[in-house]
């Protein structure tokens, strides 16, 4: 079998027109009165295409190249090595099947990344989680409020929602945003803006029960691992408490985590015989005020006066930005209301008044007005605990 081809011997730059003479599993390259070889087909490796030729390299000879037309290559089927266009396994499967396999593997990797925090979080030692929480909270720049009556009311509310109150460290911060946040190690911060906005202690109880649910399910660690990575979590925070807390406020939990926390809150309120309707009403106001804020923004874009609507909704942005839409949550809490249940308030009127006024009555608490988490007092030691 004699087949036309071109050839570089690796020693000179001369292109040689040759014929391939096949002898068993070997071949010679004949050039006029000269013959090169013998070479073994098993030493060849597909290198690519050049014009209408398929090019092969010799595994042991640098610069050696053999160009064979596609028609001639078809005659040598079974002798020439396989053409590796995309890579060995892709060529074996074919591009279509390989693409499907790659998509399946990619989906599996994404799924693993998404669920990894759920099984990694319980593996983080609780002592590590507590240190993270303590570093994040510290004394909150002197903005944690405490009065005898207010602190007693807060403790009573917490005990009414969860009998293992020692698992939590619940504080009120003198910061005027409507929010509450769960931090690692059972730390829960209720912002004074939430107490000011709430119409009753039962509304605050619903929000607190939700945050307790995040703690019990270890959603906090899941969120931190998902956003910052396990190495950062295990390595600890760098002292930029404001920046880290700001990140936690802006990082939402997964839809499943929020649903679980709401479910925990509903079950907790039912067990404590606290009506879920005040919490539903709170969500209703959030949704209405959030809509006011949206309208105000649209009015400002069109040059109309939206100042009144903006002021009416501004303080609610904290909770709206860090929690999912309120309409479905409101309906879920309303649905859990039992008509024949003998509900009772979580606090008395005097206790609720003491809790709401706790920051105002704490003469030593630092003002949270216009707090900028990113520009804290340089003398603030985040590891210094506020005396209790």
- Size of the chain in residues: 388
pLDDT over 90, % of the chain:
32
pLDDT greater than 80 at residue 314: no
pLDDT tens digit sequence for 171-180: 999 988 888 9
Buried b (16+ CB within 10 A) or exposed e, 109-144: eeeeeeeebbeebeebeeebbebbbbbbbbbbbbbb
pLDDT over 70, % of the chain:
63
* 3-state secondary structure (DSSP) of residue 198: coil
- Note the pTM of the prediction, 2 decimals: 0.58
* 3-state secondary structure (DSSP) of residue 117: helix
pLDDT greater than 80 at residue 148: yes
Average pLDDT over residues 95-121: 59
Average pLDDT over residues 79-108: 64
Q: Strand 16-23: give its sheet, edge to edge.
A: 34-40, 26-31, 16-23, 2-9, 64-69, 53-58, 44-50
Q: What is the pLDDT of residue 374?
A: 41
pLDDT greater than 70 at residue 225: no
Q: Which residues on neighbouring strands pair with residue 69, listed in sequence order?
A: 53
Of residues 80 and 153, more confidently modeled? 153
Q: How does DSSP classify residue 67?
A: E
Of residues 146 and 33, more confidently modeled? 146
**CATH number among 2.30.29, 2.60.120, 1.10.533, 2.60.40, domain 2-83:** 2.30.29
Q: Could you tell me the pLDDT band of residue 312, with boundaries at 50, 70 and 90?
A: very low
Backbone angles phi, psi at 56, to 5 degrees: -125, 145
pLDDT greater than 80 at residue 221: no
Instruction: In whole angstroms, give the CA distance from residue 73 to residue 55.
Output: 10
Q: Judge whether 7 and 67 are in contact, CB under 8 Å.
A: yes
Residue ranges per domain, the chain?
2-83, 128-274+346-361
The Cβ of residue 299 has, within 10 Å, a number of other Cβ atoms equal to 16
217 CB-contact burial (10 Å; exposed 0-12 / middle 13-18 / buried 19+): buried
Least trusted range by pLDDT, from 47-51, 99-103, 355-359: 99-103
Instruction: In whole angstroms, give the CA distance from residue 351 to residue 151.
Output: 10
pLDDT tens digit sequence for 192-215: 999 999 999 999 999 999 999 998
Least trusted range by pLDDT, from 282-291, 318-327, 378-387: 378-387
86 CB contacts (<8 Å, ≥6 apart)? 95, 98
Instruction: In whole angstroms, give the CA distance from residue 183 to residue 188.
Output: 6
State the DSSP string of 319-363.
HHHHS--HHHHHHHHHHT--TT-----SS-HHHHHHHHTHHHH-T
């Amino acid at each position: 079998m004699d087949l036309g081809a071109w050839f570089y011997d690796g020693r000179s730059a001369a292109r040689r027109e040759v014929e391939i003479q096949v002898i068993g599993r070997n071949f010679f390259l004949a050039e006029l009165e000269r013959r090169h070889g013998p070479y073994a087909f098993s030493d060849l490796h597909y290198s690519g295409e050049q014009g209408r030729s398929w090019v092969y390299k010799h595994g042991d000879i640098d610069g050696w190249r053999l160009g064979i037309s596609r028609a001639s290559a078809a005659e040598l089927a079974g002798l020439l090595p396989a053409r590796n266009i995309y890579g060995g396994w892709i060529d074996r499967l074919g591009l279509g099947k390989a693409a499907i396999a790659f998509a399946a593997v990619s989906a599996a990797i994404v799924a693993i990344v998404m669920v990894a925090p759920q099984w990694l979080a319980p593996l983080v030692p609780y002592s590590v989680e507590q240190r993270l929480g303590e570093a994040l909270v510290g004394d909150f720049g002197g903005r944690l409020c405490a009065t005898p009556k207010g602190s007693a009311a807060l403790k009573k509310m917490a005990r009414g929602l969860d009998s293992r109150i020692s698992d939590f460290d619940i504080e009120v911060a003198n910061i005027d945003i409507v929010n509450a946040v769960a931090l690692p190690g059972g730390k829960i911060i209720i912002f004074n803006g939430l107490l000011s906005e709430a119409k009753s202690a039962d509304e605050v109880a619903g929000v607190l029960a939700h945050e307790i649910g995040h703690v019990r399910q270890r959603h906090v660690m899941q969120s931190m691992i998902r956003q910052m990575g396990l190495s950062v979590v295990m390595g600890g925070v760098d002292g930029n408490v404001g920046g880290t807390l700001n990140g936690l406020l802006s990082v939402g939990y997964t839809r499943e985590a929020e649903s679980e926390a709401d479910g925990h809150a509903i079950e907790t309120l039912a067990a404590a015989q606290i009506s879920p309707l005040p919490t539903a009403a709170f969500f209703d106001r959030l949704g209405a005020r959030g809509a006011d804020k949206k309208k105000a923004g649209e009015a400002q874009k069109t040059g109309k006066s939206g100042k009144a609507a903006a002021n009416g909704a501004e303080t609610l942005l904290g909770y709206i930005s860090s929690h999912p839409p309120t309409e479905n949550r409101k309906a879920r809490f309303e649905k859990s209301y039992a008509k024949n249940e003998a509900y009772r308030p979580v606090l008395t009127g005097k206790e609720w008044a003491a809790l709401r006024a706790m920051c105002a009555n704490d003469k030593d608490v630092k003002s949270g007005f216009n707090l900028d988490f990113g520009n804290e007092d340089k003398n603030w030691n985040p590891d210094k605990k506020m005396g209790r």
